[in-house]
Amino acid sequence: MKDLFSILLLAMFIENFVLSKFMGICPFLGVSKKTSTALGMSAAVVFVNTLASAATWLVNEYLLKPYELEYLQTLAFILVIAALVQFVEIVLKKLVPPLYKALGIYLPLITTNCAVLGSALLNVERNYTFIQAVFFGFSAGLGFTMALILFSAIRERLETCDIPEAFKGMPITLIAASLVSVAFVGFSELVIK
């Protein structure tokens, strides 16, 4: 239990995918304009990240390791993730239409997101067990959610701020993103015992 809790802290704060590892920056900047879209995207990331962590762990353990093909991880994982998301999308569309609608366009969008591939590769690199790997994927998704919602709130506030002409739009967004990231550096010294 303690072990899982430390993974949660690690994935959400110390190694927040977006703010400390700089993975998944595209959706972080792309869909953080409104809190509602940020929520949709985050839900998709949590969902896909958890599933992908499980699937890639299995593929690595039972297919790549026996043949000593660990160097194919990146390639194999991309294949697995893409196929998995496609499959899940088809199944959801048929069986759980409300969830399919809620995740909407974000589900296919995040297929090629490096945050998902990143968590899969980190799982392998750190020799996590199956449970740990799935939980790490889930926590990383939660960390992404936190970052995205925090940032979308900031951007909604920025909308009504008096910003110098030259900084309007993307420039001020990037500056704000860097400041949020700097704030998260504070967590990097956190040591879990």
Partner 1 sequence: MSIVIPVAVVAGLGLFFGLCLSFASRVFAVKTDERIEKVRELLPGVNCGACGFSGCDGMAEAIVNRGVHPSKCPVNSQETVSAISRLMGLDGESVTPMIARVICQGTPANVDKKYDYQGLQDCHAANQLAGGSSSCRYGCIGLGSCMRACPFDAIEIEDGLARIIPEKCKGCGICVVECPKGIIRMVPADMGYTVLCANRDKGVVARKSCKVACIGCMKCQKVCPAGAITVEDNLAVIDYEKCENCGKCEEVCPQSTIHDILHERVPA
Among 63, 153, 183, 192, binds partner 1 (CB under 8 A): 63
32, 176 in Cβ contact below 8 A? Answer: no
Which H or E element spans position 13?
none
Q: Which residue, 85 or 110, is less far from partner 1 as judged by CB?
A: 85
23, 86 in Cβ contact below 8 A? Answer: no
User: Does residue 93 belong to the site contacting partner 1 (CB under 8 A)?
Assistant: yes
Q: Measuring CA to CA, how many Å separate 42 from each of 24, 79, 120, 141, 172?
A: 11, 22, 17, 7, 23
Binding span for partner 1 by CB under 8 A among 9-17, 66-74, 124-132, 141-149: 66-74
CA 8 from chain centre, in angstroms, equals: 13
153, 35 in Cβ contact below 8 A? Answer: yes
Rounded least distance, CB 60 to partner 1, Å: 12
User: Does residue 34 belong to the site contacting partner 1 (CB under 8 A)?
Assistant: no
Q: Which residue, 19 or 76, is less far from partner 1 as judged by CB?
A: 76
Rounded least distance, CB 82 to partner 1, Å: 8
Of 191, 193, 192, 180, which is closest to residue 20 (Cα–Cα)? Answer: 180
User: Does residue 75 belong to the site contacting partner 1 (CB under 8 A)?
Assistant: yes
User: Does residue 48 belong to the site contacting partner 1 (CB under 8 A)?
Assistant: no
Q: Which residue, 90 or 183, is less far from partner 1 as judged by CB?
A: 90
Calpha distance 70→60 (Å, rounded)? 7
Rounded least distance, CB 81 to partner 1, Å: 10
User: Does residue 165 belong to the site contacting partner 1 (CB under 8 A)?
Assistant: no
Show the beta-strand stretches assigned E in 28-89: none
Q: Which residues bind partner 1 (CB under 8 A)?
A: 59, 63-64, 67, 69, 72, 75-76, 79-80, 83, 86-87, 90-91, 93-95, 160, 162
